Amino acid sequence: MDNEIKEEELHGARVKTALADMPNDEQIAEMGARFKTLSEPSRLKILLALAAGELCVEHITEAVGGNQSAVSHQLKTLKDNKIVKCRRAGKKILYSVADAHVMIMIEVAKEHLNCND
Amino acid sequence: MDNEIKEEELHGARVKTALADMPNDEQIAEMGARFKTLSEPSRLKILLALAAGELCVEHITEAVGGNQSAVSHQLKTLKDNKIVKCRRAGKKILYSVADAHVMIMIEVAKEHLNCND
DNA sequence: CATTTATATGAATGTGTATTCATATGATAA
DNA sequence: TTATCATATGAATACACATTCATATAAATG
């Protein structure tokens, strides 16, 4: 059938388009790393907590429920990925969100929850 | 200092807000699962390829570069997570994007790449 | 200075999962 | 039906990483 030939051409063109528009490997790795950071429920909870504003580790631990060491390890991951930043205030260290894009992505995912598709 | 007392109150209020606005564990797991699916470069590539339109497995494999079995395994993961859907057309199986939200998140991440923060 | 408080870090453990290889399934064509 | 093409699947391997426990750092307080 002619249809099959046309489809084959169409799909071949799509492959070309895909290859042309495809970010390079480094860029894809960067995107993946960003998503990976958000993929862990424990980190997601921390970011949802920080959405309300700057908090110290103790308060974060309280808000997400869990153990201080685990929270500290996850905060390190978030900081290494420049998703949060921190500053010292006396004995405490205050963390806050440093990446607006990431919070947008979380918002999109959150909206997606109450969705009927 | 009075400031410290006020800060403490402020942060306490933030913890309350955070706890009140926090999605439940199941919802957070669902959000995390979505991000996790996008965290793997191989899957990200597949979705970027499918952004151009429906493609068969062979063409996807060609577009992302790699091995057929690996692509097939990743397509299964994407399908299980309802991020892609597929239909048979003769010998071939055509895959396409089934989740608009996910593509939005990928777009946000892509824009984030060319960003100076 | 010694102690306490807040946070960070290292090592160990366990779990999850991406990839590969070999092979199975399932549809088509001869 | 048999052979072939397109895709899927199972098992094995290897690696990444979240959590926990114990302990280290670093600032504040007495």
Query: At the top level of CATH, which class does the domain B41-117 belong to?
Result: mainly alpha
Nearest by CB to B62, from A15, A34, A52: name it.
A15
pLDDT digit string, tens, across residues A32-73: 999 999 999 999 999 999 999 999 999 999 999 989 999 999
* Residue A1 pLDDT > 80: no
Kindly report the average pLDDT of chain B as a whole number: 91
Query: What is the torsional sign of CA A25, B111, A33, A14?
Result: negative
Contact between B18 and A54 using a beta-carbon 8 Å cutoff: no
Q: How far apart are CA A16 and CA B62, in angstroms?
A: 10
pLDDT digit string, tens, across residues A74-115: 999 999 999 999 999 999 999 999 999 999 999 999 998 987
Q: How far apart are CA A27 and CA A42, in angstroms?
A: 26
Domain range summary for chain A, segments of one domain joined by +: 1-39, 40-117
Phi, psi dihedrals of residue B116, rounded to the nearest 5°: -100, 20
The secondary structure of residue B55, as a DSSP letter, is: E
Q: Which residue is nearest to nucleotide D23 (CA to C1')?
A: A69
Give the residue from A8, A15, A77 with the most B CB atoms within 10 Å of its CB, the best one to mutate: A15
Phi, psi dihedrals of residue B69, rounded to the nearest 5°: -65, -45
- Considering the domain A40-117, what is its CATH architecture? Orthogonal Bundle (1.10)
